[in-house]
């Protein structure tokens, strides 16, 4: 696990996650401390674990039921849990969204300050939409060549007015990782089996 860049202006960290369970646990930690108005931008190749991470975030937020990638629906809404009270989640897939998608863009922006918004293939989201959200996490998943597990790179970003909130969010997340950490470790070059196979 590594960390760089001053968290007051943005911070970047990389995690190695040996299994889908570990990826889900890290997602749960993010979901437990998520703040209203937060945008989570998930990127990575097909099968890298974006939906597994999204499902973990939803569980951490107290949202029950199956979480699937909204590939054909584009946008899926999940109401806030009632006990304990929580935040609603909007889960979007921007992989095949055309540039002429005013309805989807409106759905993404409307009520954004009162919920958590999670977008798979987030690198395809227009910058003008990203800028609407003052708190943003860029989460990029990759598959180490010749090794098991996944690498998750998190970039914490915010507008200057929200840096205090971002710092608090990141600190709360790190405290949760200390309580219930994924089995973070350095991958061995000899490991070739991928425990994610068929589970993403």
Give the three-class secondary structure for 148: coil
Strand partners for 138: 41, 155
The per-residue pLDDT for range 156-178, each reduced to its tens digit, is 887 766 778 888 888 999 888 88
Fold of 24-145+156-164+172-179: Rossmann fold (3.40.50)
The per-residue pLDDT for range 77-136, each reduced to its tens digit, is 999 998 788 999 999 998 877 665 778 888 889 999 999 999 999 999 988 899 899 899
Only one residue has tokens 């646990």, namely 25
Record the pTM.
0.81
The full DSSP string for 117-138 is EEEETGGGS-HHHHTT-SEEEE
């Amino acid at each position: 696990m590594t960390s760089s860049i001053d968290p007051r202006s943005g911070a970047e960290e990389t995690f190695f996650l040996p299994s889908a369970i570990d990826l889900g646990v890290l997602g749960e930690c993010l979901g437990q401390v998520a703040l209203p108005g937060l945008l989570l931008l998930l990127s990575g190749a097909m099968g890298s674990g974006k939906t597994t991470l999204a499902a973990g975030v939803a569980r951490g937020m107290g949202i029950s039921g199956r979480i699937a990638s909204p590939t054909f629906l584009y946008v899926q809404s999940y109401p806030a849990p009632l006990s304990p009270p929580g935040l609603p989640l909007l889960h979007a897939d921007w992989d095949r969204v055309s540039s002429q998608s005013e309805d989807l863009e409106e759905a993404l922006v409307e009520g954004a300050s009162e919920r958590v918004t999670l977008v798979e293939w987030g690198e395809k989201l227009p910058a003008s939409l990203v800028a609407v959200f003052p708190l943003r996490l860029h989460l990029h998943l990759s598959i180490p060549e010749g090794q098991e597990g996944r690498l998750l790179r998190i970039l914490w970003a915010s507008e200057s007015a929200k840096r205090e909130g971002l710092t608090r969010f990141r600190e709360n997340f790190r405290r949760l990782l200390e309580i219930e950490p994924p089995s973070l470790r350095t991958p061995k070059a000899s490991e070739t089996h991928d425990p994610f196979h068929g589970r993403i």
